[in-house]
Structure 1
Amino acid sequence: PQAGPRRRVDAFLPPAAPRRVLRTTDRIVAVGASTGGTEAIRELLGALPPDAPAIVISQHIPAAFSKPFAERMNRSSAMAVCEAQDGQYILPGHVYIAPGDRHLIVERDGARYRCRLNDGPPVNRHRPSVDVMFRSVAQNVGPNAIGVLLTGMGDDGARGLLEMLEAGACTIAQDEASSVVWGMPGAAVRLGAAQHVVPLNLLARELLAMLAERSRNRAVG
C-alpha cells in the first residue's frame, strides 16, 4: 500500500556487495508486480510445471487480500502457492507471496534460502516493496536467481532489477503491449536492467528456457 513520504531502498536495506554464492542447485525466481499484476501472476504461474524452481513474489496489494490471493493462486497453479511466513524455508516447486503489509526479504542460511518478513517503513511508498525483495535476492542469491518485473504503476523494482543483473542474475521485463500499466517494467527497460522484454503469454516459456540454459552452462562449467 502507498503511505507516507517516498523512501528509497537504501534507507531500509543498505547496499552491499553480493555474498559469495555457495554451490547449490537451488534457483530462485523473484517476481515483482503492481497494477494488473494479480492477473499477470495468475497467467504466469498457470503456465509453469509443478517442479519449477521456487518463486518469491512481491505484489502491491492490501493486507486483507494477499492471503486470499495466494489461496486462489494455489488452486489454479500446479505449484504449491502460499502467503510467505517469517523464517519459512524456500523450496523448489513452491511459490511464496509477500503479505500485503510486510516486506519480503530472501535470506541465505548456508546453502539454503528462507523468507524473512519485515515491518520496516514503506519503500517507494510501498510495503511490500519490490526493490527491497530484489535487492535481497541480488545480495544473497546472485547468479542463482532470475528477476521478473511485471505490469505496474511507478518505478518500484526497476533499480532492484538492475542490482540483480549486476549480481549475475538473469532479468526479464514484461513488454508494453501486454502490460496494464508499463510503469515499473518500462522504468527497468530505460535503466538497462532488463536483458529480455517479453509479452506475458510467452513469459513462462522464456523463463523455462533461461533456466535450462543456465543448467546446461553449469554442467559444462
Structure 2
Amino acid sequence: MATRPPLVSQTRDPGDAKEDDYPMIAQDVPIVCVGGSAGGQDAYQRLLQNLPSDLGAAIVIVNHLRTVSTHLHEILPHHTDMPVELITEGLDIQPNRVFIIPSQRDLHVLKGEFRLKPISKPRGWPDVITVFLCSLTEHWHGKLVAVIVSGYDGDGADALCAIRDVGGTTIAQLPASAGQPDMPDSAIASGCVDFILAPEQIADQIIKIIRPTHAD
C-alpha cells in the first residue's frame, strides 16, 4: 500500500472544539466499509459467512438508510462469529468486529472512534456511504477497503477515487449477483473500482488484502 501524506483535517467535531485542536494519531487497524441498500442484506450475509472471525479488520456496514430503523445488528450475528454492534457516539473502532450504522445519522471517524452527526441529506437519496468513505480518507491511516454491494442509487461512488488516492482498495459487487444493481453499476461507472466480484469472492479478496501472508 502506498504511503499516505500527512492528513489535514477540513471538518469540525460535533462539539465546539475544532478537530485541528486534536493531534492526528496514526491508526493501523484496517477498516472494511461495506455499503449497500436494497438487496444488501443478502450480500452482507454471504460476505460475512466467508470471512474468518480473526480477520484483523473492523467491518463497517453502512446501509443506505434515511428513516427506516435497521435490524441488521440483530440479524447478522447469525452469519458471523464476530461480535456485531450498532454504532453509538464515541464507540472505539476495534478489529474482528462488525459495526452497523444507525438510521438517520451520518457516520464519521475521529481519533480512533466513530462519530455520529445528524444526517446531512434528510430528503432524497441519502449519501451516508460517501460521507463515511470521505471521512476515512481524511482521518484514518490504516488499510482501507471500500465495498459497494446491491442497492438503489449511486451512494458511495463519488468517494471511490479518493479511497484509491490514499492507497485503499475498491470493490463492487458483480451486478449480475446483486438483487438491485444500481449501486454497483454506479460504482463501476466511476472508473475507480479495482475488483468486480460476487460476495463470496469479495470475502476471498478482502482476506488477501488484510492478511496477505495468510492467503492461499
Same fold (TM over 0.5): yes
Counterpart Cα distance in 2 of 1:135 and 1:51: 27
The answer to whether residue 157 in structure 2 is matched with residue 154 in structure 1 is no
Distance 1:21 1:212, change over 3 A: farther
The answer to whether residue 63 in structure 2 is matched with residue 59 in structure 1 is yes
- Structure 1 residues 149-174: Cα deviation after superposition (integer angstroms, max 9, x where no partner): 11111111001122111121111111
Structure 1 residues 113-122 or 169-178, which shifts more?
Answer: 113-122
Residue number in structure 2 paired with 1:211: 210
Q: Do 1:81 and 1:97's aligned partners in 2 also have CA atoms closer than 8 Å?
A: yes
Q: Do 2:127 and 2:156's aligned partners in 1 also have CA atoms closer than 8 Å?
A: no
Residue number in structure 1 paired with 2:7: none
Distance 1:175 1:207, change over 3 A: same
Distance 1:96 1:64, change over 3 A: same
- Structure 1 residues 158-194: Cα deviation after superposition (integer angstroms, max 9, x where no partner): 0112211112111111111111122122112111121
Q: Do 2:157 and 2:187's aligned partners in 1 also have CA atoms closer than 8 Å?
A: yes
Q: Do 2:31 and 2:142's aligned partners in 1 also have CA atoms closer than 8 Å?
A: no
Tell me which amino acid in the other structure corresponds to 1:98: I
SS at match of 2:95: coil
- Structure 1 residues 77-105: Cα deviation after superposition (integer angstroms, max 9, x where no partner): 11111110110001011111100111111
Q: Do 2:126 and 2:155's aligned partners in 1 also have CA atoms closer than 8 Å?
A: no
Q: Do 1:143 and 1:168's aligned partners in 2 also have CA atoms closer than 8 Å?
A: no
SS at match of 1:91: coil
The two structures have a TM-score, normalised by structure 1, of 0.79
Residue number in structure 1 paired with 2:178: 179
- Structure 1 residues 24-54: Cα deviation after superposition (integer angstroms, max 9, x where no partner): 5411111110110011111111211111211
Residue number in structure 1 paired with 2:34: 31
Counterpart Cα distance in 1 of 2:77 and 2:97: 10
Q: Which runs of 5+ in 1 are unaligned?
A: 1-12, 217-221
> Which of residues 89, 95, 99 in structure 2 aligns to 1:86?
89
Paired positions, count: 194
Residue number in structure 2 paired with 1:7: none
Distance 1:95 1:121, change over 3 A: same
Counterpart Cα distance in 2 of 1:63 and 1:124: 10
Q: Do 1:102 and 1:127's aligned partners in 2 also have CA atoms closer than 8 Å?
A: no
Identity %: 27
Counterpart Cα distance in 2 of 1:99 and 1:138: 21
Q: Do 1:45 and 1:77's aligned partners in 2 also have CA atoms closer than 8 Å?
A: yes
Residue number in structure 2 paired with 1:96: 99
Tell me which amino acid in the other structure corresponds to 2:79: S
Q: Which runs of 5+ in 2 are unaligned?
A: 1-10, 13-22
Tell me which amino acid in the other structure corresponds to 2:175: E
RMSD over aligned Cα atoms: 2.5
Q: Do 1:59 and 1:128's aligned partners in 2 also have CA atoms closer than 8 Å?
A: no
Counterpart Cα distance in 2 of 1:54 and 1:123: 27
Tell me which amino acid in the other structure corresponds to 1:80: P
The two structures have a TM-score, normalised by structure 2, of 0.80
Counterpart Cα distance in 2 of 1:174 and 1:45: 14
> Which of residues 41, 49, 54 in structure 1 aligns to 2:52?
49
